[in-house]
């Protein structure tokens, strides 16, 4: 099931099995690809993930100088993990 696959990707990131750079590219790409089917499988989950995750992933910036240049926009690795954890906790309730 796509729901389980996407939740697993988030869990792997939270468990530090996947680097943040990899997750920030692969998760939104996979989400975009599977969204039509995910909407049929689990519309509330699709809505949640599409609302929260693309922007969170896009705002990850590993370079501290870049983050300082645009405070409040770019997110550090830990800030991304915190946000993904919040969304993951909501997503698990929708499975």
pLDDT tens-digit readout, 41-93: 999 999 999 999 999 999 999 999 999 999 889 999 999 999 999 999 999 99
Q: Which helix or strand (DSSP H or E) is residue 54 part of?
A: helix 43-58
CATH number at residue 40: 1.20.120
Residue 75: strand pairing partners: 60
Give the total number of structural domains in the chain. Answer: 1
What number of CA atoms fall less than 13 Å from residue 70's CA on the CB side? 10
62: left (phi over 0), alpha (psi -120 to 50) or beta: alpha
Separation CA 1–CA 22 (nearest Å): 22
The pLDDT, as a whole number, for residue 48 is 99
Burial class (CB within 10 angstroms; exposed 0-12, middle 13-18, buried 19+) of 6: buried
Q: Which domain holds residue 75?
A: 2-94
Q: Which helix or strand (DSSP H or E) is residue 93 part of?
A: helix 77-94
pTM score, whole prediction:
0.94
């Amino acid at each position: 099931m796509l729901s389980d696959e996407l939740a697993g990707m988030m869990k792997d990131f939270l468990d530090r099995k996947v680097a943040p750079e990899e997750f920030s590219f692969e998760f939104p790409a996979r989400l975009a690809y599977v969204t039509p089917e995910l909407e049929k499988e689990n519309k509330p989950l699709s809505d949640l993930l599409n609302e929260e995750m693309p922007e969170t992933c896009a705002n990850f910036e590993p370079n501290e100088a870049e983050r300082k240049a645009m405070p409040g926009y770019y997110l550090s690795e830990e800030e991304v993990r915190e946000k993904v954890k919040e969304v993951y906790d909501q997503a698990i309730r929708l499975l």
